[in-house]
Amino acid sequence: MSGASEQTAEGNPIKGVISSRWIPEKGDAGKIYGSVSFWLTQDFSLGADYRPLADKAGITATWRALSENPDSWKPAIILGTSVDDFRVDDREIQSRAFFGTLSKALPKIDALNLTLSPYAGAAYIDELDELRPVGGLTLRHESFSLMVQYSGTDTHLSLSRKISGNLGASFILWGMEMPGVALRWRF
C-alpha cells in the first residue's frame, strides 16, 4: 500500500500521488484516467479522479485503520472508496465502490530477493448493489513488481518498474485481455 509511511527518493515522507492510465480498448469512461491524491495524515488520503473522454470526476479516500507490523503477524487494515471500472455480462460499468482489505508483506525470500504481499477483502459495488470478494498478490523484486488482483468482477495483471525514486511505469492487462500503460509520480 503506497502512502505517507513510504518515502520519496529524497527521503521525505510521500505527501501525494499523481497517476494516469491509458487502455485503448476500453470504452470512453475507462480509456483515459487520471487521479491525484494527498496524504492528509500518515494514515488518511483524499483525492479525485477524472475521466476526460466521458467528462466524469470522482472522489477517492483511503484510511489505513491499522498499520502492518513488519516484525509480527499483524496485517494492515485498509478501508476506502473510489469510482472503479467493472465488467459485468460483457458490459463495462463505472461504479462507486466501498472496500475493506487486510494486507501483509511476507518475509523476504533472500535467495530470490523477492517479497510477496497478499491482500484479501471485500468491496460493495454500488451500481450492482452487491458485496463482492477482492484480493490479490504483489511480487516485488528490487525495482520491479508484478501484481495480480481480482476486483470483484475481473482479474487484472500489472507489471511495474520503478524508473526513479518517485516515478514508476506499468504495463497493464485489464481483465486479462485489454493491454494498457500507466504512470505514477509520488511526491
pLDDT single digits (tens) 129-152: 999 999 999 999 999 999 999 999
Amino acid at 22: W
Domain boundaries, the chain: 16-186
pLDDT higher at 186 or 9:
186
Residue 163 DSSP one-character state:
S
Give tens-digit pLDDT for 76-130. Answer: 999 999 999 999 988 899 999 999 999 999 999 999 999 999 999 999 999 999 9
In contact, 49 and 82? CB cutoff 8 Å: yes
What's the pLDDT at 14? 77
Calpha distance 18→112 (Å, rounded): 31
Express as a percent the part of the chain with pLDDT over 70: 94
Instruction: Please give the pLDDT value at position 3.
Output: 41
Model-level pTM?
0.88
* pLDDT the model gives residue 90: 84
Whether the CB-CB separation of 68 and 103 falls below 8 Å is answered with yes
Domain spanning 16-186, CATH class: mainly beta
Beta strands in the chain (DSSP E): 16-22, 32-41, 44-51, 56-66, 76-88, 91-103, 115-125, 130-141, 144-150, 155-162, 167-174, 178-186
